[in-house]
Amino acid sequence: MTTLGATPPARFVVIGNPIAHSMSPAIHHDFAQQVGMPIQYMRLLAPLDGFEGTVRALQAAGVQGANVTVPFKLQAFELAQQLTDSASFAQAANTLHFKPDGLVMADNTDGGGLCRDLDRLLKPMNIGLSMCQVLMLGAGGAAAGCVAAFHAHGVQHLTVLNRTAAKARALAERAEALGLPAVGGSLDHLPSDFELPGAPLVVVNASSSSLHGEVPALHAHWWARAVLAYDMMYAPSATPFMQSASSNMAQGTAVADGLGMLVFQAQLAFESWTGRSPDALQTLSRVRASLQAKAR
């Protein structure tokens, strides 16, 4: 029942096609409950040729913001009048803000979410991401979404290795133009092929190889140097990349999937929409339990 004069709940959506699998409503409702702020957050299946019309209808209905997922991240970037550095670099957006003046602001919180999760995982080792160098596998959209955040978090050096070497080199050149020291090449490169500072090494799988049950073949010397291996994909059990990392790295080296990145990218969107900061770790443990329960 709505009390006379009570402020209606803020409204948000996640737009995609398909969208039924999205965990974003559960994550954002968990955040809202934590900070005691009622919200409505719904899944929205947009027609493949109807993203812009969907956004206009949401604006007209007074919705405050949207998360955007496959296949609309490029269109979300293109229709916005204002862009954050991260969306601008990635040329893709996962978060839209619908301003009262009718303007759309696009952000990409995927990279920031990844960096928050990497910092969380490095903390028990008394390491901050800003002390580290990153080896990123893959040079597609997911990889591009992280580069500006690596720069903003003070990552020392980025190596991009990809099946198609030219794409890795192109992404590394764009990272360098941003001010992040970077090199790119094919997957068979050794650490010694590049001049790397003596910083702890974090290996991030930003390729979509796990979707095909495959793992980018990486020279053992990389694994020997890594303090953390991170797959941006997530699953109820260890992904092929995580299995490979565990069998190649010294026992006890940290290995993680991308569920934390999912929750932290949502936390960044929630913070910018509402100005409130929920405890993402509480939400992460609930989302992990729910993912595992669904798999049983």
> What minimum distance in Å lies between the beta carbon of 86 and ligand ATR?
15
- Would you say 64 or 207 has its CB closer to ligand ATR? 207
- Would you say 67 or 209 has its CB closer to ligand ATR? 209
Spatial distance between the Cα atoms of 86 and 151, rounded to a whole number of angstroms: 10
Determine if 167 is a binding residue for ligand ATR (CB under 6 A).
Answer: yes
Comparing every residue's Cβ against ligand ATR, the nearest one is: 140
Residues 6+ away with beta carbon under 8 Å from 161: 135, 136, 137, 168, 184, 185, 186, 187, 189, 216, 218
Spatial distance between the Cα atoms of 294 and 296, rounded to a whole number of angstroms: 6
> What minimum distance in Å lies between the beta carbon of 63 and ligand ATR?
26
Determine if 162 is a binding residue for ligand ATR (CB under 6 A).
Answer: yes
The single residue among 19, 105, 127, 139 that binds ligand ATR, judged by CB under 6 A, is 139
> What minimum distance in Å lies between the beta carbon of 26 and ligand ATR?
23
- Would you say 128 or 140 has its CB closer to ligand ATR? 140
Contact stretch for ligand ATR (CB under 6 A) within 19-27, 32-40, 41-49, 161-169: 161-169
- Would you say 185 or 216 has its CB closer to ligand ATR? 216
Cis peptide before 71 (omega within 30 of 0): yes
x/- letters, 177..216, toward ligand ATR (CB under 6 A)? ------------------------------xxx--x-x-x
Determine if 95 is a binding residue for ligand ATR (CB under 6 A).
Answer: no
Q: In what order do the strands lie in the sheet with 65-68?
A: 39-45, 10-16, 65-68, 95-98, 104-107, 82-83
- Would you say 125 or 166 has its CB closer to ligand ATR? 166
Q: How far is CA 105 from CA 22, 44, 66, 151, 158, in A?
A: 22, 19, 10, 21, 28
- Would you say 140 or 191 has its CB closer to ligand ATR? 140
Spatial distance between the Cα atoms of 123 and 126, rounded to a whole number of angstroms: 5
Cis peptide before 18 (omega within 30 of 0): yes
Say whether 99 is catalytic.
no
Spatial distance between the Cα atoms of 50 and 28, rounded to a whole number of angstroms: 25
Tokens of 85: 């550095």
Determine if 164 is a binding residue for ligand ATR (CB under 6 A).
Answer: yes
Spatial distance between the Cα atoms of 38 and 10, rounded to a whole number of angstroms: 7
The single residue among 130, 131, 141, 246 that binds ligand ATR, judged by CB under 6 A, is 141
Contact stretch for ligand ATR (CB under 6 A) within 32-40, 157-165, 176-184, 189-197: 157-165
DSSP string, 218-280: --HHHHHHEEEEEESS--SS--HHHHHHHHHSPTT-EEE-THHHHHHHHHHHHHHHHS----H
Site residues (vs ligand ATR, CB under 6 A) = 138-143, 162-164, 167, 207-209, 212, 214, 216
Catalytic site positions: 73
